[in-house]
């Protein structure tokens, strides 16, 4: 959680250097879901994600220097500079790919689930999605197929209330919850506080036990909030699509101090240890940025490679 925060704050801080020349969607404020999911899932469990995927990638154990190098467009990037911030991949930890069209990776995650079922594997496929993707036709199609085929798929929906600038209230009916809709479509569902990392972890763990035991899909919805603009490094409350007050209320629910307080109270960690965690994250993030800065750009001819697999 701390590493995700530190890395993304550093992206925001350095974005104006104009060296990270691609659209970048930060998940600052939403780290609890990424971190808890990364810990609950095993390395062999598979993940697909969205345009806002830095947190999911880092949480799952994805290589941070290669992610930053990808954002810098370098040859050492996790996608060799072909994908940018929105197309992250680290097959060595089961992070199968994040894609940039809303809803696009949802059926792909279900396809991974089908392959696991065919192989009689114990592992699961985890699909990260947002509240906007729920409105796509492909979401309904995929939920239907997963329910019909009883696939080992865990849906994790981060409901951060906005699709770019469009609030949930203008996009979905007032009294209907996403998770109850999905439950009605035939997939067992639950909802939780997405800023409480312990609750998220427990919920994911419970749902994974259900999937493993029943070999059926599960859907989790977590309420959370992105602090910064939809795309880019800045705060954007002055635009008026959401109120400063709403933002400040959510900022009070910052998942990192929330978790720290509980850990300190229960004496599971000391202040010094917490500081050490943060210091280490800063060192790791700096190393990642140095790696990216020092890496070469791909040669121009590489633009013409990898169109087909040979």
Partner 1 sequence: MTRIISFTESINEALTIAMEIDNKVLCYGLGVDDPKHIFETTTGLQEQFGEDRVFDMPTSENAMTGIAIGSALRGYKSIMVHQRLDFFLLAMDQLVNAAAKWNYMFGGQSSIPIVIRLIIGRGWGQGPTHSQSLQSWFSHIPGLKVVMPSSPRDAKGLLLESIFDKNPVLFLEHRWLHNQEEDVPEGDFRVALGKSNLLKKGKDITIVGMSYMNTEAVRAIEFLETLGISCEHIDLRSVNPIDWDSIIVSVKKTKRLLVLDTASKTSSLSAEIIARTSTELFSEMTTAPDRICLPDIPIPASFALTKDLYPTSFDIAKKVCSMLDKNFDPAALIQSEFPHDVPGDWFKGPF
Chain residues binding partner 1 by CB under 8 A are 48, 77-83, 87, 89, 91, 96-97, 99-101, 103-116, 118-119, 125, 137-138, 141-142, 144-145, 148, 305-310
Nearest to 4 by CA among 81, 60, 86: 60
Q: How far is the CB of 48 from partner 1 (least distance, A)?
A: 8
Q: What is the DSSP string of 236-273?
A: -GGGSSS-HHHHHHHHHT-HHHHHHHHHHHTTSS-HHH
CA 11 – CA 27 distance, rounded (Å) = 11
Q: How far is the CB of 98 from partner 1 (least distance, A)?
A: 10
CA 303 – CA 170 distance, rounded (Å) = 41
Q: How far is the CB of 249 from partner 1 (least distance, A)?
A: 36
Q: How far is the CB of 110 from partner 1 (least distance, A)?
A: 6
CA within 13 Å, CB half, 89: 16
CA 63 – CA 173 distance, rounded (Å) = 40
Identity of the residue, 91 or 248, whose beta carbon is nearer to partner 1 in the bound complex: 91
Identity of the residue, 45 or 254, whose beta carbon is nearer to partner 1 in the bound complex: 45
Q: How far is the CB of 169 from partner 1 (least distance, A)?
A: 26
The C-alpha R_g of the chain, in whole angstroms, comes to 19
CA 192 – CA 145 distance, rounded (Å) = 25
Q: How far is the CB of 68 from partner 1 (least distance, A)?
A: 15
Identity of the residue, 169 or 304, whose beta carbon is nearer to partner 1 in the bound complex: 304
Identity of the residue, 149 or 206, whose beta carbon is nearer to partner 1 in the bound complex: 149
* Under 8 Å between Cβ of 29 and 226: yes
Identity of the residue, 102 or 208, whose beta carbon is nearer to partner 1 in the bound complex: 102
Identity of the residue, 100 or 269, whose beta carbon is nearer to partner 1 in the bound complex: 100
Q: How many CB atoms lie within 10 A of CB 303?
A: 11
């Amino acid at each position: 959680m701390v590493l995700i925060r530190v890395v993304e704050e550093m992206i925001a801080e350095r974005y104006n250097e104009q060296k990270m020349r691609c659209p970048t969607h930060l998940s600052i404020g939403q780290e609890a879901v990424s971190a808890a999911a990364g810990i609950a899932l095993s390395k062999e469990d598979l993940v697909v994600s969205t345009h806002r995927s830095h947190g999911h990638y880092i949480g799952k154990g994805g290589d941070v220097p290669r992610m930053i190098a990808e954002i810098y467009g370098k040859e050492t990037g996790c996608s060799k500079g072909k994908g940018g911030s929105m197309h992250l991949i680290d097959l060595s930890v089961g992070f199968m790919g994040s894609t940039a069209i809303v809803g696009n990776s949802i059926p792909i995650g279900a396809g991974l689930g089908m392959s696991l079922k065919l192989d009689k594997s114990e592992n699961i496929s985890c699909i990260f999605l947002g509240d906007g993707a729920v409105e796509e036709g492909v979401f309904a199609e995929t939920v239907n197929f997963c329910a019909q085929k009883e696939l080992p798929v865990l849906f994790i929906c981060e409901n951060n209330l906005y699709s770019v600038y469009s609030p949930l209230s203008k996009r979905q009916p007032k009294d209907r919850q996403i998770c109850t809709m999905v439950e009605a479509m035939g997939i067992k569902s639950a909802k939780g506080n997405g800023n409480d990392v312990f609750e998220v972890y427990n919920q994911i763990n419970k749902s994974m036990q259900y999937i493993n035991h029943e070999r059926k899909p599960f859907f989790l919805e977590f309420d959370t909030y992105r602090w910064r603009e939809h795309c880019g490094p800045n705060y954007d409350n002055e635009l008026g699509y959401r109120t400063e007050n709403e933002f400040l209320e959510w900022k009070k629910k910052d998942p990192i101090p929330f978790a720290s307080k509980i850990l300190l109270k229960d004496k599971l960690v000391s202040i010094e240890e917490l500081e050490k965690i943060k210091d280490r994250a800063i060192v790791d993030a700096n190393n990642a940025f140095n790696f990216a800065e020092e890496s070469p750009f791909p040669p121009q001819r590489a633009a013409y490679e990898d169109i087909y697999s040979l």
